[in-house]
Amino acid sequence: MKLLRSLIILSIAGEMLTACGDEPEVTVSLKLSKRELILNKTAQSKVVTITTSESWVAETPADWLLVSPSSGDGTETVTVSVTENDQGGARESYVKITTKSKAMQLVVLQSTNENGAIQTPFSVSADKQVYFSQGNLQYQARTGTWRFAENQWDYVGTQTPDDNGHYGGTIKGSDNANISSTYDGWIDLFGWATSGWNSGANEYQPYSTSTISTDYYVGGEKINNLTGEFANADWGVYNKINNAGNQAGLWRTLTYEEWMYLLYDRDDAILLKGSATVNRITGIILLPDNWTAPEGITFKTGTNGYDDNIYTIVDWCRMEAYGAVFFPAVGIRNGLDVEDVGYFGSYWSSSAFDNYTYNMYFFSDYLGMDGNENRYEGRSVRLVRDL
């Protein structure tokens, strides 16, 4: 009996010693407020927050990158600075943050883009090249402000697919459906020739919603294009773009002939376009002349489906740094009804066609030009700047 008691006491003591000896497991995390920085060519600084419970060190192999402070203890905000990119092409490096138990990288990509332009050339005729804007055109009626979307995949309004994965229908809750002369949100679907310049058309304001095509006749005539004496009816010619030079006349809309050359007639045109999904947004990619893919990134040509090319933000930022242009499938607006977001994209040209106008349009499995589109329908605008 005494032996049994002794064994029980020893067993209990052992369990107590084991329990007391167990330290609670401490999970040391390391988080960055951003995993990538996408910067234009100018010298600039960005802040990134490092969240950790340990001491850390930040290092970079690039001589054009600076991190301050370069070390710390616990959570802290650091400043990442870059010099001006005068190398003539995109450059990429990283900042490595290391603690005692973990390491993470912050990817830094710096393009040659500036003043709202993706500065890689696209041929639009045998003797003319352009730069595309950094994103779709947007407008705020209350302040009369024009700007380009911050990212190429950005657009106003979203739509989720149905149970079968299909898009379509009407989105009355999107910002474009709130279009008015006093609306303080942003819109990015415009009737044709709605720069705000009085061209002689009945409807010429960017917030116009008439569903009568003849109201949008520039100069009161169906044959007039957004060129020559009516060039101010072009959004980019007449207006200052707030984040892209802020000066009228810097930008313009492609003509029908220029769209056709870009899509079909420039060298290797068939290899420089494809359907894609970028950051979960569907659309079409056009690649610049003399395209060279970033290391480790592939591109499938053709329009067989939006899942042909699927890019994360980091992958796309590498593509953009090398000049790729993405046109999101923003849908169209008919009066106050917005339709086909995520399924269909349509971008205006500056060329009229009888009662209609030409536009570049696409579905997941088609890309082309059409001249039978109503002028009153709200469509996307992607401006260019001449070299």
**DSSP codes joined into one string, 135-151:** S-EEEETTTTEEEE-SS
What would the two tokens of residue 52 be? Answer: 């950790």
**Portions of the chain given CATH number 2.60.40.10:** 30-110
| 95 in Cβ contact with 59 (< 8 Å) | yes
203-232 mean pLDDT: 97
Distance CA 221, CA 206 (A): 19
Q: Which of the residue ranges 2-11, 218-227, 317-326, 336-345 would you say has the lowest mean pLDDT?
A: 2-11
Per-residue DSSP letter, 258: H
More confident residue, 266 or 294: 266
Measured CA to CA, the distance from residue 265 to residue 127 in angstroms comes to 12
Q: Select from 145, 156, 151 the least CA-distant residue to 133.
A: 151
Residues in contact with 375: Cβ distance below 8 Å, sequence separation at least 6, in sequence order: 191, 192, 193, 213, 216, 217, 355, 356, 357
Q: How far apart are the C-alpha atoms of 269 and 286, rounded to whole Å? A: 9
pLDDT in tens, 157-211: 754 544 544 444 444 446 898 999 999 999 999 999 999 999 999 999 999 999 9
pLDDT greater than 50 at residue 330: yes
Query: What DSSP state is assigned to residue 373?
Result: E
Residue 49's pLDDT band (cuts 50, 70, 90):
very high
CB atoms near residue 182 (< 10 Å): 7
Average pLDDT over residues 22-44: 76
Peptide bond before 69: cis, by omega within 30 degrees of 0?
yes
The one-letter amino acid code at 188 reads: D
Task: Pick left, alpha or beta for residue 196 (phi over 0 → left; psi -120 to 50 → alpha; otherwise beta).
Answer: left
Rounded alpha-carbon distances, angstroms, from residue 193 to 112, 226, 238, 295, 385: 31, 7, 11, 41, 18
* CATH entry 3.90.1150.10 includes domain 30-110: no
Question: Amino acid identity of 216?
Answer: Y
9 pLDDT higher than 70: no
Query: Given a cut of 90, is residue 6 above it in pLDDT?
Result: no
Q: Is 248 helix (H, G, I), strand (E, B) or coil?
A: coil
Supply 314's token pair. 């980091």
Distance of CA 321 to the CA centre of its chain: 12
Tokens of 72: 């710390």
What average pLDDT does the chain have? 88
Contacts of 93 by beta carbon, 8 Å cutoff, 6+ apart: 60, 61, 62, 64, 65, 108
Q: What integer is the mean pLDDT of 25-41?
A: 79
Q: Tell me what pLDDT residue 158 has.
A: 54
Say whether pLDDT at 2 is over 60.
Answer: no
Q: What is the pLDDT of residue 295?
A: 85
Widest CA span of the chain, in angstroms? 113
pLDDT tier at 1, thresholds 50, 70, 90: very low
> Phi and psi dihedrals of 309, rounded to 5?
-130, 120
Direct distance between the N- and C-terminal alpha carbons of the chain, in angstroms, rounded to an integer: 100
pLDDT, average across residues 225-244: 97
Residues 246, 115: Cα–Cα separation, whole Å: 9
Residue 93 forms beta bridges with which residues? 108
**pLDDT of res. 39:** 86
Burial class (CB in 10 A: 0-12, 13-18, 19+), 162: exposed
Contact 372, 353 (CB under 8 A): yes
In percent, the amount of the chain with pLDDT more than 90 equals 73
Q: Which amino acid is at 370?
A: D
The residue whose two tokens read 């992607």 is: 382
Q: Is the pLDDT of residue 324 over 90?
A: yes
**What's the confidence (pLDDT) of residue 174?**
65
Q: What is the mean pLDDT of residues 292-306?
A: 92
Between β-strands 356-363 and 366-373, what pairing exists: parallel, antiparallel or unpaired?
A: antiparallel
Give the pLDDT confidence score for residue 13 in this predicted structure.
Answer: 44
What confidence tens digit (pLDDT) does each residue in 104-147 have? 999 998 887 788 999 899 999 999 999 999 999 999 999 999 99
Look at residue 40 in the predicted model and tell me its pLDDT: 82
Q: Render pLDDT for 83-110 as a digit per residue (tens, 0 to 9).
A: 999 887 778 899 999 999 999 999 998 8
